[in-house]
Amino acid sequence: MAVLVNGTEIVLSGTVGNLFWDDSFDAADVILALAQVGRGQDVTIRLNSGGGIATEGAAIHAALCAHRGRKTIIVEGVAASAASVIAMAGDEIVMARGAVMMIHDPSGFTFGPVSEHEVAIRMLTSLATAMAGIYAERSGKTPEAARADMQAELWMAPEEAVAAGYADRVQTRAGQSAAAGETSVDAGRPDDETGPEPTAFDFRLYKHAPERLVALADRRAWTNHPRLTAALPAAPTRQTENPMATASAGGEPAPHSEPTPNPTPALPAASLSRADAAEIATLCLDGGVPALAASLLAEGATVEQARSRITAAQQIRDKVALARRGHPAIPDGLADEMIAQGKTVEQAVAVLFDKMAARDEETQVRSHHVAEPSQADGREVAVASMRSRLERMGITQKEA
């Protein structure tokens, strides 16, 4: 089981985000687990993950930072890549004996013309800068020093992670006195130098993975899982850890041809403080759109920009709900789909307009058998009727 809640303890094990391993966890899982524990309750989080989707790791980090209780994060087995970002949310970061931590630069696969690769470069640069800011704030290093560690793909044993500032201490051995720093998280742990086994992950994907992890992946057949390739059906772009593939957005062409307006420029990702990230995650949770947190953090959105996007997302949901009252055939998940695509309220209304008008036009063609209007006339009638209906439903306002 990827997420387990036991009293005030949460176990996170598996891949960060839903990739191709059976065990995985995402921001929604973690937010739900924290809600079960209680928003103001101190919590111990046992983390064992080889990494996964970078933006999902950032969203989980923000959700943990927003939790009001004290957070003790124990790295058991491995916290690599996106999982190490999650670990940085701890008020205390404890390395179990035998565990390893790894930080590195995010990377991804882009397929398409030069413009697509240029967009990917900007995305990767922004994401790496944001990650460096998280590592720097927690370790006390400069963002430049943290980024250098990332570019080197730094693997750390427990003592090395503590020395580098990425962890606070090594979990004490059984029987060690409390005077030496033992706390409740150490009680009952075995006196074992190897610690828990790392979770299932193909560690060959990393450049400098320890040989014992690569050998373990081979021995446990963790290398036999299917890989994401460019030949798979196109999916919305999402940034993944090395070397998971990102695919260009696909599917049907947008029903409305208006160009997407340029969003208000966001602050550089490095300038997003931990407090702001936590506030954004809380706003998304309270606003009923927890999945939006990952996109906002990856973009380096300010708190005010996040408030605006959340308000727009709520309006889109309201308008889709209103439209579905008269047109139940409109998909229930259309609102979430448009929010994920970053559509504005106006663009969402245009999508609803086209879907409802097309449905009405189809109904008119089927129900009229005598003196049917031409296709163009039928479209005009449907459009005029739909405008009037949208105004009555409150989805749009009457034009002056």
- Domain 3-222 in CATH 3.10.20.740: no
pLDDT in tens, 124-172: 999 999 999 999 999 999 999 999 999 999 999 999 999 999 999 999 8
Phi and psi, residue 82, nearest 5° = -60, -30
Phi and psi, residue 185, nearest 5° = -75, -15
Q: Is there a cis peptide before residue 243, judged by omega within 30 degrees of 0? A: yes
From residue 97, alpha-carbon distances to 90, 279, 308, 338, 383 in Å are 18, 34, 45, 46, 67
Q: Where in the chain is the domain with CATH 3.90.226.10?
A: 3-222
Reported as type and span, the H/E element at residue 213 is: helix 211-219
Question: Residue 262: what pLDDT?
Answer: 46
Question: Residue 268: what pLDDT?
Answer: 44
Measured between alpha carbons, how far is 108 from 200 in angstroms, rounded to an integer? 21
Q: In degrees, to the nearest 5, what angle opens at C-alpha 281 toward C-alphas 121 and 265?
A: 45
Question: Residue 367: what pLDDT?
Answer: 46
Question: Residue 263: what pLDDT?
Answer: 46
Does the pTM surpass 0.75? The reply is no
Render 150-177 in DSSP notation, one character per residue.
Answer: HHTTEEE-HHHHHHHTS-SEEPPPTT--
Residue 318: which residues within 8 A CB-CB, separation 6 or more? Answer: none
Q: Which two three-digit tokens encode residue 148?
A: 């250098």
Give pLDDT < 50 ranges for the chain.
Answer: 175-184, 187-192, 224-270, 365-371, 373, 375-376
- Evaluated on CA atoms 39, 42, 48, 53, the torsion sign reads positive
Measured between alpha carbons, how far is 391 from 400 in angstroms, rounded to an integer? 12
Q: Which two three-digit tokens encode residue 136?
A: 């720097």
Q: What percent of the chain has pLDDT over 90?
A: 33
Question: Residue 377: what pLDDT?
Answer: 54
Reported as type and span, the H/E element at residue 101 is: strand 100-103
pLDDT in tens, 222-231: 654 443 332 2
Q: Judge contact between 81 and 55, C-beta under 8 A.
A: no
Question: Residue 253: what pLDDT?
Answer: 42
Question: Residue 335: what pLDDT?
Answer: 86
Q: Judge contact between 46 and 4, C-beta under 8 A.
A: no
